[in-house]
Structure 1
Amino acid sequence: MLGALLSGIFLSACGYLYPAYECFKAVEKNAPNKEALIFWCRYWILLALLTVCERLLGVFVSWLPLYDEAKLIFVIYLWHPKTKGAVYIYNTFLRPVLMKHEKEIDRKLMEVWCRGKDFAVQNAQKFAYQGQAKFFEILQFVTAQAAAAQAAKPQAASASVEKEK
């Protein structure tokens, strides 16, 4: 109903800018309120999860009528002072699942981290080897061109001397 552009503007303002500012205020107070910090951490965790799910399932749900408007209402529900939906959803749904599977998640993350590190090291070594090979190839080309130019100078000089005779 609102249109994608208008919904996007409202979602940016209500889902990101306002919560980010409130989070800033909670962090930068002289005596930060622990409860406020925990609330905003929960909000950002849920928003990140929503964003990831939307990226994965967006093709299937984005065509639903009033999807953008429902998402906007949900995001406001998460942070609104009267509902504080982030506390309810986090404590009721997300926390129990994460607590139950925390060790498995940590193990998988460590596996992915190690594989990624091994992949990066392996490819960095290949890149360095290929870069070194290309560097020496270019160096040989440049020295060959310089040698050819040097060899051509005496011949050109002797040819101009013979033309003068």
Structure 2
Amino acid sequence: MFLSFVSSLVVHAVGFLYPAYASFKALQLEVGSERALEEQTRWLVYWVVYGLVSAATYLTDTFLFWLPFYDFGKILLCLYLVLPQTQGALVLFHLYFQPKLRQYEPTIDDA
């Protein structure tokens, strides 16, 4: 139970607080600069991926909470998504989420 509480704190700090501040910093960059465009795109992609992963996590928590190291895995996933060394959010977006979102975009838009 305690590990779950600590895990939740870490996931929220890594998944929300740091990206929110980094997004703020990206918005403060010179408008129209190449660096601003790269950083703003990076963080916008992050928020899309994080939103989709959070929705999936909401469902998986119900069934997988009992697995050993599940909470640790969630922390690692958040780090993978956030860290610039891994660029996990960009990787997942371009490999999985973008193709599926494009495929179902008309259906989603019509809903």
- TM-score, normalised to structure 2, is 0.88
Separation in structure 1 between the aligned mates of residue 63 and residue 52 of structure 2, nearest angstrom: 17
Q: How many residues align?
A: 108
Is 1:59 the equivalent of 2:62? yes
- Identity value in percent: 33
Shift of 1:14: 1.1
Secondary structure in structure 2 of the residue aligned to 1:83: coil
| Alignment correspondent of 1:134 | none
| Alignment correspondent of 2:5 | 5
Q: What is the identity, as a one-letter code, of the residue corresponding to 2:28?
A: E
Deviations 1:65-93 (A, max 9, x none): 11111011111111211110111100000
Q: What is the identity, as a one-letter code, of the residue corresponding to 2:40?
A: L
| Alignment correspondent of 1:18 | 18
Over the aligned positions, Cα root-mean-square deviation in angstroms equals 1.8
List aligned pairs for 1:1-165, cutoff 5 A: 3-31=3-31, 33-108=36-111
Q: Which moved more, 1:82-91 or 1:28-37?
A: 28-37
Shift of 1:19: 0.9
Per residue, is there more helix in 1 or in 2? 1
Higher relative contact order (CA 8 A, sep 6+): 2
Separation in structure 1 between the aligned mates of residue 8 and residue 26 of structure 2, nearest angstrom: 26
- In structure 2, stretches of 5+ residues that fail to align are none
Residue 14 of structure 2 contacts residue 82 of structure 2 at CA under 8 Å; is this kept in 1? no
- In structure 1, stretches of 5+ residues that fail to align are 109-165
Secondary structure in structure 2 of the residue aligned to 1:3: helix
Tell which structure's C-alpha radius of gyration is larger: 1
